[in-house]
Amino acid sequence: MQTEVSETATVDDAVLAADSVRKTFGEIVAVDDCSFEIERGSITGLIGPNGAGKSTMFDCISGFYQPDAGTIRFDGTDITGLPAHKIAHEGLVRTFQITRDLAEMTVMENMMLTPKNQTGESMFHAVFNRDTIERENAEIQRDAEKLLELFQLDHVRQEYAGNLSGGQRKLLEMARMLMLEPEAMLLDEPMAGVNPTLENDIVERIEELNRQEGVTFVIVEHDMDLVMDLCDRIIVMNEGRDLAAGTPAEIQNDERVLEAYLGGDS
C-alpha cells in the first residue's frame, strides 16, 4: 500500500525554505518549480536520481547560481540571488562534492583564513591596531585548534592540505565552514570517496554538531542506507521537481519514490 507523502509538506519551524525555484541552462531545465522546507535543528536528506537537480538546487540556495525564478528564504530573510559569501556570513554554508581547500597552504592556515570580518583585513587596522589583531588571531587559533581536535585533524595541523587523504579533506572542509559559526550546513555528497573509517568519523561529527550545537544539516548523499539511518526527514527530487517529503519510513514506502529513485537504474 502506498504511503501518501505531501509533495510540499510544511514543517513546524523552517530555517530554510525554497519556493517555486527554477534554474535553466539554455534549453536544459535543471530545477523546475521546486519547493521544500528544512526544519530548524534537523538532519534532512535531499535525494533523487542522477540529474534530479540536487546539486544545482544547492548552488541556487548557497548563492553560486542565480535562480531564474522563485524565492529562497533563510531564517526568515530573503536570500535569493545574494552572492555566496554574503549567504555564508548569514549563517548558511555548504561543502562540495570536490573539496575546495587551499591545497598549498597548511591545514591550520586553511582554518585561520576562514572566519569572517577579521580586523586584519583592513589596511588601516593592520597598521594601527596590531594589538587588537594579535588578540583576535589568538582567539581564532584557539577556535581552530578545538575544531581540528573535534575532527581528529589536530595531528596534521601543519601538513599541507593537498597532502591529506580524500576523507581528511572532507573533514577539513567541514571544519573550515564551522569557523563561520553557521546555523545550517549544506553537505554535497560528504561521503563520496571516503573510506569506511573516516565515513564513520564524518557521521559522528554531524550527529554531535546537530545534537550539541543545534546545527541544521541538509545532505545530498547516494548511500541510501546511510541517509535512512542518519536523517530525521527526507526530501526527494526528480526531474528538477520536489516529488515527496517525509520521514525515512514514509519515503521508503512511497511508490512514487520507489519508481523514480530506489527502483530506478541510478
Query: One digit per residue, pLDDT tens: the chain, 266 residues?
Result: 344 444 455 778 999 999 999 999 999 999 999 999 999 999 999 999 888 999 999 999 999 999 999 999 999 999 999 999 999 989 999 988 666 677 889 999 999 887 655 444 444 444 445 666 677 788 889 999 999 998 889 999 999 999 998 888 888 998 999 999 999 999 999 888 788 888 888 899 999 999 999 999 999 998 999 999 999 999 999 999 999 999 999 999 898 988 885 554 43
- Identify the pLDDT of residue 24: 97
Whole-angstrom distance, CA of residue 160 vs CA of residue 101: 10
Domain map (residue ranges) of the chain: 1-91+182-266, 104-166
Q: What is each CA distance from 169 to 47, 116, 125, 143, 192, in whole angstroms?
A: 23, 21, 33, 19, 11
Q: What angle do CA 180, 185, 188 make, to 5 degrees?
A: 125
Whole-angstrom distance, CA of residue 92 vs CA of residue 152: 24
Reduced to 3 states (helix: H, G, I; strand: E, B; else coil), residue 130 is: helix
According to DSSP, the β-strands at 28-39 and 14-25 are antiparallel
At 104, the amino acid letter reads E
Percentage helix, strand, coil for the chain under 3-state DSSP, each rounded to 5: 40, 25, 35
- Identify the pLDDT of residue 260: 80
246 CB-near residues (< 8 Å, 6+ apart): 3, 5, 6, 9, 233, 234, 254
Q: Does CATH number 3.40.50.300 belong to domain 1-91+182-266?
A: yes
- Please state the pTM of the whole predicted model: 0.83
Are 103 and 161 spatial neighbours (Cβ–Cβ below 8 Å)? yes
Whole-angstrom distance, CA of residue 58 vs CA of residue 71: 13
- The C-alpha cell of 54 is what? 540536487
pLDDT in tens, 191-249: 887 888 888 888 999 999 999 999 999 999 989 999 999 999 999 999 999 999 999 99
- Identify the pLDDT of residue 102: 77
Whole-angstrom distance, CA of residue 83 vs CA of residue 20: 20
Are 176 and 204 spatial neighbours (Cβ–Cβ below 8 Å)? no
Q: 122 — alpha (psi -120 to 50), left (phi > 0) or beta?
A: beta
Whole-angstrom distance, CA of residue 245 vs CA of residue 4: 10
